[in-house]
Amino acid sequence: MKRTFQAITINKKDLISLIQQTNGFLNPKIELEQYCIDAQSAVDIVFFAGVEFNDIKNKLVIDLGAGTGRLSIACAYLRASYVLSVDIDINALRILKENVKGLGLEDIVLPLCSDVNRFEIVKQVLPNKMHITTIENPPFGVQKKTADRFFLQKAFSFSDVVYSIHLANQKVHQFLTKFIKKFNWEIDHVFPFQLKLKRTYEFHKQKTKSVDVNIYRFKRKGKENN
Ligand X SMILES: C[S@@+](CC[C@H](N)C(=O)[O-])C[C@H]1O[C@@H](n2cnc3c(N)ncnc32)[C@H](O)[C@@H]1O
Q: What residues line the site for ligand X (CB under 6 A)?
A: 32-37, 65-67, 70-71, 87-89, 92, 115-116, 137, 139, 147
Whole-number Å distance between alpha carbons of 58 and 80: 5
Distance from C-alpha of 177 to C-alpha of 86, rounded to nearest angstrom:
25
Closest CA to 29 of 78, 75, 77, 95: 95
Residue 139 or 219 having the CB closest to ligand X: 139
Quote the least distance from Cβ 16 to ligand X, whole Å.
14
Residue 50's closest CA among 23, 7, 101, 15? 15
Q: How far apart are CA 144 and CA 72, in angstroms?
A: 24
Considering the complex, what minimum distance in angstroms separates the CB of residue 161 from ligand X?
18
We find the least distance from the C-beta atom of residue 216 to ligand X, in angstroms, to be 15
| Pick 43 or 66: Cβ nearer ligand X | 66
Residues 60, 126 contacting (CB under 8 angstroms): yes
Closest approach, Cβ 169 to ligand X, in A, equals 17
Nearer to ligand X among residue 50 and residue 139 (C-beta): 139
E strand spans, 88-146: 109-113, 132-136
- Nearest distance, CB of residue 129 and ligand X, angstroms: 26
Q: Report the residue number, 140 or 186, with the smaller CB distance to ligand X.
A: 140
Judged by beta carbon, residue 82 or residue 186, the one nearer ligand X is 82
Q: Which stretches does DSSP call E strand in the chain?
A: 60-64, 82-87, 109-113, 132-136, 161-167, 185-198, 208-220
